Amino acid sequence: MSPEQIEKTSGRRPGARLFLFTRLALQNLLRKPARTLMLVLAVTLSTGGVFASYTVASGIKDSMDRSFSRMGADLIVVPSKAMVNITSALLTVQPTDEVLSGNLVDQIEHLDGIAQVAPQTYFQIPIMSGMPECKANLIAFDPKKDFTVMPWMVAHANRPFRTGDIIAGSRRSESIGDEIAPSNFPVNVYGKLGRSGVGPLDDSFFTTYETIELLHAKITEKGTTNSSSKTDAQDALASFDRSKISAILVKLKFGATPEQARFAIARLPGVKVVTGATIVTSTRQATTALLAGMLGFTGMMLAAMLIMVSLLFSGIISERRREVGLLRAIGSRHVDVMRMLLAEAFFTTALGGVTGIVFGAGLLLVFQRSLVYYLETLHIDFAWPEPAIILTVALCCSLASAFVGLLGAFVPAWRASLEEPYLLIQGEGG
Quote the pLDDT of residue 97. Answer: 84
Quote the pLDDT of residue 275. Answer: 80
Beta carbons of 118 and 140 less than 8 angstroms apart: no
Would you call 226 helix, strand, or coil by DSSP?
coil
Would you call 191 helix, strand, or coil by DSSP?
strand
Phi/psi of residue 229, nearest 5 degrees: -85, -10
337-to-282, 308, 328, 331 alpha-carbon distances in Å: 57, 22, 8, 11
CA distance 57 to 62: 9
Q: What is the pTM of this model?
A: 0.62
Quote the pLDDT of residue 397. Answer: 86
Residues of the chain with pLDDT under 50: 1-11, 228-229, 232-233, 428-430
Helices and strands of the chain, counted as H and E runs? 15, 12
CA distance 332 to 403: 25
Quote the pLDDT of residue 117. Answer: 94
Beta carbons of 77 and 248 less than 8 angstroms apart: yes
Quote the pLDDT of residue 1. Answer: 47
193-213: burial string, b at 16+ Cβ within 10 Å, e else: beebebbbbbebbbbbbebbe
Which residue in 268, 231, 275 sits closest to 252, CA to CA?
275
Quote the pLDDT of residue 7. Answer: 47
At 159-201, the pLDDT tens digits run 999 999 999 999 999 999 998 888 778 899 999 999 888 888 8
Quote the pLDDT of residue 10. Answer: 46
Domain ranges of the chain: 3-67+286-419, 74-275
Q: Is 387 exposed, middle or buried (0-12, 13-18, 19+ CB in 10 A)?
A: exposed
At 22-59, the pLDDT tens digits run 676 667 767 777 777 888 888 888 888 888 888 888 88
CA distance 364 to 50: 12
Pairing between β-strand 205-208 and β-strand 135-141 as defined by DSSP bridges: parallel
